[in-house]
Structure 1
Protein backbone atom coordinates (compact mmCIF):
# COMPACT_ATOMS: atom_id res chain seq x y z
CA UNK A 1 0.00 0.00 0.00
CA UNK A 2 -0.43 2.45 -1.53
CA UNK A 3 -1.24 0.94 -4.89
CA UNK A 4 -1.12 3.67 -7.54
CA UNK A 5 -2.20 3.21 -11.14
CA UNK A 6 -1.69 5.85 -13.84
CA UNK A 7 -3.70 5.17 -16.98
CA UNK A 8 -2.75 7.46 -19.85
CA UNK A 9 -3.01 8.00 -23.56
CA UNK A 10 -0.03 6.33 -25.27
CA UNK A 11 0.67 9.43 -27.37
CA UNK A 12 1.77 11.11 -24.13
CA UNK A 13 4.75 8.76 -23.77
CA UNK A 14 7.38 11.12 -25.14
CA UNK A 15 6.03 14.11 -23.21
CA UNK A 16 5.61 12.29 -19.88
CA UNK A 17 8.48 12.13 -17.38
CA UNK A 18 7.09 9.03 -15.69
CA UNK A 19 10.14 8.37 -13.50
CA UNK A 20 10.23 11.95 -12.21
CA UNK A 21 6.47 11.91 -11.69
CA UNK A 22 6.61 8.66 -9.70
CA UNK A 23 9.43 9.93 -7.45
CA UNK A 24 7.60 13.18 -6.74
CA UNK A 25 4.27 11.41 -6.31
CA UNK A 26 5.69 8.90 -3.83
CA UNK A 27 7.17 11.74 -1.74
CA UNK A 28 3.78 13.45 -1.81
CA UNK A 29 1.94 10.31 -0.71
CA UNK A 30 4.38 9.92 2.19
CA UNK A 31 3.85 13.54 3.23
CA UNK A 32 0.07 13.74 2.83
CA UNK A 33 -1.17 10.20 3.47
CA UNK A 34 1.48 9.03 5.97
CA UNK A 35 2.62 6.14 3.78
CA UNK A 36 6.07 4.61 4.01
CA UNK A 37 8.31 5.36 1.00
CA UNK A 38 9.09 1.69 0.41
CA UNK A 39 5.38 0.88 0.34
CA UNK A 40 4.63 3.18 -2.61
CA UNK A 41 4.13 1.32 -5.89
CA UNK A 42 3.07 2.90 -9.18
CA UNK A 43 1.97 1.09 -12.32
CA UNK A 44 1.79 3.07 -15.57
CA UNK A 45 -0.58 1.77 -18.25
CA UNK A 46 -0.53 3.35 -21.69
CA UNK A 47 -3.67 3.01 -23.82
CA UNK A 48 -3.09 2.80 -27.56
CA UNK A 49 -6.63 3.83 -28.34
CA UNK A 50 -8.59 6.56 -26.60
CA UNK A 51 -11.46 8.81 -27.57
CA UNK A 52 -12.56 12.18 -26.33
CA UNK A 53 -16.06 13.32 -27.23
CA UNK A 54 -16.45 13.31 -30.99
CA UNK A 55 -12.82 14.26 -31.68
CA UNK A 56 -10.71 11.61 -33.32
CA UNK A 57 -7.74 13.75 -34.31
CA UNK A 58 -5.54 12.70 -31.38
CA UNK A 59 -5.17 16.22 -30.00
CA UNK A 60 -6.21 15.04 -26.54
CA UNK A 61 -4.16 13.41 -23.81
CA UNK A 62 -6.19 11.61 -21.17
CA UNK A 63 -4.73 10.65 -17.77
CA UNK A 64 -6.45 9.09 -14.78
CA UNK A 65 -4.62 8.42 -11.50
CA UNK A 66 -6.08 5.92 -9.04
CA UNK A 67 -4.78 5.54 -5.49
CA UNK A 68 -5.64 2.43 -3.49
CA UNK A 69 -5.05 3.15 0.19
CA UNK A 70 -5.86 1.27 3.36
CA UNK A 71 -9.03 2.65 4.89
CA UNK A 72 -8.86 5.37 7.51
CA UNK A 73 -7.80 8.50 5.62
CA UNK A 74 -10.13 11.46 5.93
CA UNK A 75 -11.93 12.92 2.93
CA UNK A 76 -9.77 16.02 3.36
CA UNK A 77 -6.58 13.95 3.15
CA UNK A 78 -7.86 12.17 0.04
CA UNK A 79 -8.75 15.49 -1.61
CA UNK A 80 -5.34 16.97 -0.77
CA UNK A 81 -3.67 13.91 -2.29
CA UNK A 82 -5.61 14.03 -5.56
CA UNK A 83 -5.10 17.79 -5.93
CA UNK A 84 -1.36 17.40 -5.32
CA UNK A 85 -1.17 14.54 -7.83
CA UNK A 86 -2.83 16.64 -10.54
CA UNK A 87 -0.44 19.50 -9.83
CA UNK A 88 2.54 17.15 -10.13
CA UNK A 89 1.13 15.77 -13.35
CA UNK A 90 1.09 19.26 -14.85
CA UNK A 91 4.78 19.57 -13.92
CA UNK A 92 5.77 16.22 -15.47
CA UNK A 93 3.54 15.95 -18.54
CA UNK A 94 3.79 18.64 -21.21
CA UNK A 95 1.91 17.45 -24.30
CA UNK A 96 2.67 19.89 -27.10
CA UNK A 97 -0.26 20.64 -29.36
CA UNK A 98 -2.67 18.58 -27.28
CA UNK A 99 -5.19 19.28 -24.55
CA UNK A 100 -4.53 17.50 -21.26
CA UNK A 101 -7.56 15.96 -19.54
CA UNK A 102 -6.51 14.69 -16.11
CA UNK A 103 -8.34 13.23 -13.15
CA UNK A 104 -7.47 11.45 -9.92
CA UNK A 105 -9.26 9.56 -7.19
CA UNK A 106 -8.51 7.74 -3.95
CA UNK A 107 -10.20 4.45 -3.20
CA UNK A 108 -10.11 2.55 0.08
CA UNK A 109 -8.66 -0.91 -0.39
CA UNK A 110 -11.07 -3.69 0.42
CA UNK A 111 -10.55 -5.42 3.79
CA UNK A 112 -9.60 -8.54 1.82
CA UNK A 113 -6.46 -6.77 0.50
CA UNK A 114 -3.31 -8.77 1.02
CA UNK A 115 0.15 -8.38 -0.47
CA UNK A 116 3.08 -10.64 -1.16
CA UNK A 117 6.73 -9.70 -1.42
CA UNK A 118 9.19 -12.39 -2.18
Structure 2
Protein backbone atom coordinates (compact mmCIF):
# COMPACT_ATOMS: atom_id res chain seq x y z
CA UNK A 1 0.00 0.00 0.00
CA UNK A 2 1.98 2.96 -1.12
CA UNK A 3 0.52 5.98 0.67
CA UNK A 4 1.93 8.87 -1.35
CA UNK A 5 1.59 12.55 -0.51
CA UNK A 6 2.80 15.42 -2.69
CA UNK A 7 2.88 18.83 -1.04
CA UNK A 8 3.76 21.81 -3.21
CA UNK A 9 3.74 25.58 -3.03
CA UNK A 10 3.31 28.57 -5.29
CA UNK A 11 4.36 28.95 -8.11
CA UNK A 12 4.55 25.21 -8.84
CA UNK A 13 0.78 24.93 -9.29
CA UNK A 14 1.04 26.44 -12.77
CA UNK A 15 3.97 24.28 -13.83
CA UNK A 16 3.44 20.81 -12.33
CA UNK A 17 2.01 18.21 -14.72
CA UNK A 18 0.06 16.44 -11.98
CA UNK A 19 -1.39 13.69 -14.17
CA UNK A 20 1.90 12.91 -15.88
CA UNK A 21 3.86 13.00 -12.63
CA UNK A 22 1.50 10.79 -10.64
CA UNK A 23 1.28 8.22 -13.45
CA UNK A 24 5.08 8.09 -13.79
CA UNK A 25 5.52 7.96 -10.01
CA UNK A 26 3.05 5.08 -9.69
CA UNK A 27 4.93 3.24 -12.44
CA UNK A 28 8.21 3.79 -10.59
CA UNK A 29 6.73 2.52 -7.31
CA UNK A 30 5.48 -0.62 -9.08
CA UNK A 31 8.79 -1.22 -10.82
CA UNK A 32 11.16 -0.39 -7.95
CA UNK A 33 9.20 -1.33 -4.83
CA UNK A 34 7.11 -4.19 -6.28
CA UNK A 35 3.80 -2.51 -5.44
CA UNK A 36 0.60 -3.34 -7.29
CA UNK A 37 -0.71 -0.57 -9.58
CA UNK A 38 -4.12 -0.56 -7.91
CA UNK A 39 -2.46 -0.07 -4.52
CA UNK A 40 -0.82 3.22 -5.53
CA UNK A 41 -2.75 6.17 -4.16
CA UNK A 42 -1.50 9.74 -4.20
CA UNK A 43 -2.85 12.79 -2.42
CA UNK A 44 -1.81 16.10 -3.97
CA UNK A 45 -1.88 19.10 -1.62
CA UNK A 46 -1.30 22.71 -2.61
CA UNK A 47 0.00 24.95 0.16
CA UNK A 48 -0.28 28.70 -0.30
CA UNK A 49 1.29 29.44 3.08
CA UNK A 50 4.82 28.06 2.54
CA UNK A 51 7.82 30.17 3.49
CA UNK A 52 11.48 30.03 2.57
CA UNK A 53 14.22 31.44 4.78
CA UNK A 54 13.64 35.06 5.75
CA UNK A 55 12.03 36.00 2.47
CA UNK A 56 8.51 37.34 2.28
CA UNK A 57 6.08 34.68 1.06
CA UNK A 58 4.67 37.00 -1.62
CA UNK A 59 8.05 37.29 -3.37
CA UNK A 60 7.46 33.90 -5.08
CA UNK A 61 11.14 33.36 -5.78
CA UNK A 62 11.12 29.90 -4.26
CA UNK A 63 8.90 26.88 -4.84
CA UNK A 64 8.77 23.97 -2.42
CA UNK A 65 7.83 20.38 -3.28
CA UNK A 66 7.92 17.51 -0.79
CA UNK A 67 7.00 13.95 -1.77
CA UNK A 68 6.48 11.36 0.96
CA UNK A 69 6.00 7.71 0.06
CA UNK A 70 4.83 5.41 2.82
CA UNK A 71 5.38 1.69 2.20
CA UNK A 72 4.60 -1.38 4.23
CA UNK A 73 7.74 -2.71 5.94
CA UNK A 74 10.06 -5.06 4.11
CA UNK A 75 11.85 -2.97 1.46
CA UNK A 76 15.61 -2.69 1.72
CA UNK A 77 17.38 0.63 2.22
CA UNK A 78 18.66 0.27 -1.36
CA UNK A 79 15.12 -0.03 -2.74
CA UNK A 80 13.97 2.98 -0.73
CA UNK A 81 16.97 5.03 -1.92
CA UNK A 82 16.35 4.05 -5.56
CA UNK A 83 12.71 5.09 -5.24
CA UNK A 84 13.66 8.41 -3.66
CA UNK A 85 16.13 9.17 -6.46
CA UNK A 86 13.59 8.18 -9.11
CA UNK A 87 11.03 10.48 -7.48
CA UNK A 88 13.41 13.44 -7.60
CA UNK A 89 14.22 12.72 -11.25
CA UNK A 90 10.52 12.68 -12.07
CA UNK A 91 9.96 16.00 -10.30
CA UNK A 92 12.70 17.49 -12.46
CA UNK A 93 11.00 16.10 -15.55
CA UNK A 94 7.44 17.15 -14.71
CA UNK A 95 8.18 20.60 -13.25
CA UNK A 96 9.84 22.70 -15.94
CA UNK A 97 12.19 25.51 -14.91
CA UNK A 98 10.51 28.85 -14.25
CA UNK A 99 12.31 32.16 -14.69
CA UNK A 100 13.24 33.69 -11.34
CA UNK A 101 12.09 30.66 -9.32
CA UNK A 102 14.33 28.30 -7.39
CA UNK A 103 12.73 24.89 -6.97
CA UNK A 104 13.45 23.12 -3.67
CA UNK A 105 12.35 19.51 -4.12
CA UNK A 106 12.72 16.67 -1.66
CA UNK A 107 11.49 13.12 -1.36
CA UNK A 108 11.33 10.58 1.42
CA UNK A 109 10.40 6.92 1.45
CA UNK A 110 9.39 5.71 4.87
CA UNK A 111 7.90 2.58 6.35
CA UNK A 112 4.33 2.75 7.54
CA UNK A 113 3.94 2.13 11.26
CA UNK A 114 2.67 -1.23 12.48
CA UNK A 115 -0.52 0.56 13.56
CA UNK A 116 -1.36 1.45 9.94
CA UNK A 117 -4.80 0.29 8.81
CA UNK A 118 -7.03 1.11 5.85
CA UNK A 119 -10.41 0.22 4.44
CA UNK A 120 -12.08 0.42 1.04
CA UNK A 121 -15.75 0.40 0.25
Same fold (TM over 0.5): yes
**What corresponds to 1:107 in structure 2?**
110
**Contact 1:12–1:95 (CA<8 Å) still a contact in 2?**
no
Alignment partners' CA distance in 2, 1:7 and 1:92 = 14
Summarize deviations over 1:60-101 as a string: whole Å, max 9, x none. Answer: 110000011000111110000000000000000124121110
**What corresponds to 1:58 in structure 2?**
60
**What corresponds to 2:79 in structure 1?**
77
**Pairing 1:1-118 to 2, within 5 Å after superposition:** 1-56=1-56, 57-97=59-99, 98-118=101-121
Divergent runs of 4+, >4 A: none
Alignment partners' CA distance in 2, 1:109 and 1:78 = 13
Alignment partners' CA distance in 1, 2:30 and 2:72 = 13
Other structure's SS at 2:93 match: helix
* 5+ long unaligned stretches in structure 1: none
Could you say what the CA RMSD is over the residues aligned between the two structures, in angstroms? 0.9
Q: How many residues align?
A: 118
* 5+ long unaligned stretches in structure 2: none
